[in-house]
Structure formats: structure tokens, C-alpha cells
Amino acid sequence: MALPPLLDRGRGRGLALVAMLTLMQGVAAGAAAFATRALFETMHGGDALPLVGLSVLAGAGAIIAMTRIAARYLGEGIGQDYARQIRAALFEHAAHMPASAVAERRAGYVSLRFVGDMTAFRNWLGLGLPRLVAGAVLIPTMLVVLWLLDPVFALAVVPVFGITLLAITLGGMRLIPLHRRLRVRRARIAAEMAERMPLAPQLDRLGRRRKELAQLDKRTEAMIRAALRHRLSAETLNALPDLAAGIAAALVILTGHRAGLGTGNIAAALAVLGLLLSPLRDLGGVWNHRAAFRVAATKAQAALSRQKRDLYRTGQRLPKGPVDVTFENVPLPSGQMLSLHAKGGTKTCLPIGELDARAVRDMLLGLDTPSAGRILLSGIDLRDLSRGSLRRHVQCLSTAPEVLQGSLRRALLMGCDHRPEDATLEQLAREVGLGPLLKRLGGLSGTVLERGKNLTQTERFSLGLARIRLLPPKVLLLGLESDPGDWMRFAVHLGKTGVTVIQMGRAQQAAQVAA
């Protein structure tokens, strides 16, 4: 999957509009320059200042201000839209990746992908490209205005600004590797902090506080050195236009004086130089945004190129009635090969460890696909089932259900096809044993923390049980931490026969489950 095109979804038209607004700034600046010359010549002659000239000067300033605001506003919208599309593409791709591949990524890595890199994408389209367009339009326009005022002005300043643009380009190219090194160091610190902050009290108890602080200080020192090198290069680029403007102003005054041009011409040329300084200064920032974008784009493209799960190939539905579950020579993380046939409507125990149990759960739920062998549900390859059929008919009951921070109502209804009335949902919650939780949280609108951190193990299990009551499955997996009593709770509350139950547990649990 490739990165979304930069100029997709109307963003190209938006940048064209930015160019038009910028051109309006240039025209207004030209009018202001000629009005300035006329006013200075009038003052030099001792005549009354013409109202038209003053009006043109004031109006040009208003046009420049309004078009600049409009261009920046439009650019911000373009940048935000592109960041939104990138964010959606990354999430969409992650949703189709194997759960094991996502779990391998560090929390800091994931947070950076959705925070730090989004800023780089937004700034390139929101600030970088619009300012590049502005420079490409305004700088030639201002040089043309100087030529129209008098060719000697343009001939004097063109070499200065040409050398400046070349220096900005060469220096900007150097920013990319500097930004890459800085980004790597920042990412490493962020990832380690995201990993260690939740464990800070435990690390202190284990005597690791000083060591972790020392390591953090070492990495921070390296990051600071990289940041200073990057800042020095970036600020040097930003300072070059000011240096060029000072030299150009001196040349305008010198050449104008030698050519015998009036003060009005010189004043108008200096006004044009002042307007020329802003887009020229922005070009230094353009390279900084470009460097950040290039680094972020490389990382995002690497994320989007990771392999997706091999699922939903033909979109078949499970037949009516009990579902047989068959594993044909499926390798597990421990190195074992799993071959199993569970007849529909029966209870089966898999005597496997935690790592293998997690793999079996993820494969049956469609969160991962086997590297070899096949998993069949009533003779249909699991990879050929439709998304809806797999979600509705294969579920897992454990003490770790998927929970996003939000209301208890939201947690209960996650994954369900229909939403019952609050009274019905509250009655269901009480039936599965969540009455005390309702009281503690203050009802269905009470807040459940991410991953159910403020719930007990029994409450998390009951939460999953309520979901199964709302969306009864044909195949049920009981987690490794479950006990035979969990099956009884499921059977009593669901009141349904014909469900194929697979309990993942130790060998000694098999007899209890079978009984």
C-alpha cells in the first residue's frame, strides 16, 4: 500500500488557489511600489499628496494582509486533510496486519507514528508546499516589479538573490540527514519513556531508578547534540535572506544614487525588497518541513508495506447448525504441530501453554493466519469466511476483552450488531453479575478505563459474557485463565445448545471440562 498522493482529494486545486492568492499579493505589492514612488515624487515637488495614491497604498496593504491570511488558512486545511488521510491509511493497514506483528511494535513507536509523524505530514502540505508556491510566484513577480521601476535595480539584486537561493538549496539538502538522525534519537527516547513510565514505581523498587535515569540522560545528551546541529543549520538558512536583504538594500541605494534616480524610485524599490524578504525567508523553513516530511514518509511507507493478514478471500458464510472445528498440521510458536478435530456442539480442551494458546486464539478469531496448514470451520477454510461471519460466529470469552476507554454502555455493546434500550442492557448487566459495577460506576454512563483497568477480573469476564448474550456465537474459545466453572456460567446464561467450545488449558483440566 502506497502513501496517499499529495494532490489527491482536491488538494491540488487548493494549492492552485494558494498560487492565485499569492499572485494577488504580488500584484498588490507592485501597485504599492508604484504608488510609493508617486507619493515620494509628489512630496519632493512640494505638491499636495494625491488621495488616489494614498488609497492605492492602503488598499494594497489590505489586499496583501487578507490574501496572506487566506493562503495560510487554506494551506492549514490542506495539511490537516492530508494528515487525516495518512492517519486513516496507517490505521486501516494496521487493522489488516496480523495481531502478532502489531504486538511486536513498541508502544512508543505506535504513538510516534500517530503524533510526531502526523505533524510532519501536516506541516509539509500546510506550510511547506504553500510557502514554496508563494516563493515561486512572489520572488519572480517582485523582481519584475523592480525591473519595471528601473532595470538597474533588478540587475543589482538578481545576483545577490540568486546566490542566496543556491545557498538555501544546498543547505536545505543537508537538513534531511540531520533531521533523520534527530528523529531517530527522539523516537528512541519517546519509545523508552512510553515503556518505562508505567513501570516507574516497580523499577524504583528493583533498584533500577538511577540506571534508567543515567541511560535516559545519555540518550538525551546525544539527542541534544543532534538537535543543536539541526537547529544551527535550519537557523542559518533562515538568516541568509536577512543577509541578502541587507546587501540588496545597500545595492539598490548605491545604484539608484549613481544612476541619478529620484528618492521616490529608491523608496519604492526598498519597499519591494521588504515584501520580497518574507517569501525568501520562508524558503528556509520550507526545507525544514521537507526534511521532516521525507523522514516521516519513509517510516510511514515502511509501515504500509508490511504484510497483511490472508483473510476474507471469498466471503463465504458458515452453514446453519453446529460448527466443526478442524486444525490440519498448524505450527504453533512452541514448535508443536496442532492437528485437531472438534465436532460441532461439543466441548474440547487443548492442553497447551500460554504462548500457544494466544496463537490458537488469534488464528481462530482471524487476528492472525497460520504460517502452514489449514483451519477449517465446517469444511470451509477460515481464510475464505466473510468478515461478518467470522466476527459473529467465533468469539472468545476471557478476562481480557477488548475495551476502549469510555462508558460502560460502550464497553458492553462493542462488537454487537444492535443496540438495546438502556433498561434492557442494564438488566442484562445485572443478570451476568455486573450489578455491583453498575452501582460503583453510577450506571451505564460510568467510565471504564482502557483495557478495563478499573474492573476486576470477574467483572471483565462478565463483560465478555454480556457481549456473548447479545451476539451468541457458534464457536466459543475459553481463555487459558478460565476454569471449568466459566463454561457453566456461559451455558447457564446463554441457554443455548449446539455451541462448539474449545477450552485452552493444562492437561489436568481436560477431565474436568469433559465432565
Which residue, chain included where needed, has cell 501536516? 122
Residue 90 banded pLDDT, cuts 50, 70, 90:
confident
In terms of average pLDDT, the best of 159-163, 202-206, 268-272, 309-313 is 159-163
pLDDT score for 36: 84
- Starting at the edge strand found earlier in the chain, the sheet holding 475-478 runs 347-351, 500-505, 475-478, 394-397
Percent of the chain with pLDDT over 70: 91
Q: What separation in angstroms does the CA of 332 have from each of 102, 309, 420? A: 18, 17, 40
- CA triplet 194, 197, 199: central angle to 5 degrees? 115
Q: In this predicted model, what pLDDT tens digit does every residue of 292-318 receive, in sequence order? A: 898 888 888 888 888 888 889 898 999
Rounded CA separation 149/183 (Å): 47
Bridge partners (DSSP) listed for residue 328: 374
> Can you tell me the mean pLDDT for 136-146?
89
> Can you tell me the mean pLDDT for 21-29?
87
User: With 70 as the cut, is the pLDDT of residue 195 above it?
Assistant: yes
Q: Report H helices in 124-258.
A: 129-149, 151-196, 200-205, 209-258
Q: What separation in angstroms does the CA of 238 have from each of 71, 72, 273? A: 21, 19, 16
pLDDT score for 62: 93
Q: Domains, the chain, ranges and CATH?
A: 11-304 (1.20.1560.10), 325-514 (3.40.50.300)
| Cβ–Cβ < 8 Å for 316, 380 | yes
pLDDT score for 13: 92
According to the 3-state scheme, what is the secondary structure of 245-309?
Answer: HHHHHHHHHHHHHHCCCCHHHHHHHHHHHHHHHHHHHHHHHHHHHHHHHHHHHHHHHHHHCCCCC
> Can you tell me the mean pLDDT for 426-452?
92
pLDDT score for 515: 44
| Cβ–Cβ < 8 Å for 371, 331 | yes
| Cell, residue 123 | 506541516
Rounded CA separation 382/53 (Å): 79
Question: How large is the angle between the packed helices 116-123 and 51-95, nearest 10 degrees?
Answer: 140
Residue 512 banded pLDDT, cuts 50, 70, 90:
very low
Residue 339 banded pLDDT, cuts 50, 70, 90:
very high
pLDDT score for 254: 93
> Can you tell me the mean pLDDT for 149-154?
91
pLDDT score for 164: 92
pLDDT score for 1: 67
> Can you tell me the mean pLDDT for 36-43?
82
Q: Which of 188-202, 377-391, 488-502 has the lowest mean pLDDT?
A: 488-502
> Can you tell me the mean pLDDT for 96-115?
68
Q: Which residue has the higher pLDDT, 111 or 286?
A: 286
Q: Which of 3-17, 49-63, 107-121 has the lowest mean pLDDT?
A: 107-121
pLDDT score for 115: 62
- Starting at the edge strand found earlier in the chain, the sheet holding 380-381 runs 337-342, 325-331, 374-377, 380-381
| Cβ–Cβ < 8 Å for 19, 133 | yes
Q: Which of 132, 25, 123 is nearest to 68 (CA)?
A: 25
Amino acid identity of 185? R
Q: In this predicted model, what pLDDT tens digit does every residue of 392-423 receive, in sequence order? A: 899 988 888 889 899 999 999 988 878 899 99
pLDDT score for 455: 92
| Cell, residue 77 | 486545511
Amino acid identity of 417? D
- CA triplet 15, 17, 20: central angle to 5 degrees? 115
User: With 50 as the cut, is the pLDDT of residue 34 above it?
Assistant: yes
User: With 70 as the cut, is the pLDDT of residue 189 above it?
Assistant: yes
Average pLDDT value over all residues in the chain: 85
- CA triplet 410, 369, 325: central angle to 5 degrees? 85
User: With 60 as the cut, is the pLDDT of residue 496 above it?
Assistant: no
| Cell, residue 19 | 498560487
User: With 50 as the cut, is the pLDDT of residue 382 above it?
Assistant: yes
Chain-centre distance for alpha carbon 353 = 36
| Cβ–Cβ < 8 Å for 131, 285 | yes
User: With 80 as the cut, is the pLDDT of residue 113 above it?
Assistant: no
| Cell, residue 504 | 485452552
| Cell, residue 371 | 504460517
pLDDT score for 347: 86
User: With 60 as the cut, is the pLDDT of residue 514 above it?
Assistant: no
Q: Which of 132-141, 235-244, 296-305 has the lowest mean pLDDT?
A: 296-305
User: With 60 as the cut, is the pLDDT of residue 510 above it?
Assistant: no
pLDDT score for 481: 59
Four-residue CA torsion sign, 254, 256, 259, 264: negative
| Cβ–Cβ < 8 Å for 482, 503 | yes
pLDDT score for 109: 57
Four-residue CA torsion sign, 283, 288, 289, 294: positive
Q: Which of 90-104, 252-266, 356-370, 458-472 has the lowest mean pLDDT?
A: 90-104
User: With 50 as the cut, is the pLDDT of residue 439 above it?
Assistant: yes
User: With 70 as the cut, is the pLDDT of residue 173 above it?
Assistant: yes
| Cβ–Cβ < 8 Å for 304, 90 | yes
DSSP string, 434-500: -HHHHHHHTSTTSEE-GGGTTS-HHHHHHHHHHHHHHS--SEEEE-TT--HHHHHHHHHHH-----E
Q: In this predicted model, what pLDDT tens digit does every residue of 53-89 receive, in sequence order? A: 889 889 988 998 999 899 889 988 998 899 888 888 8
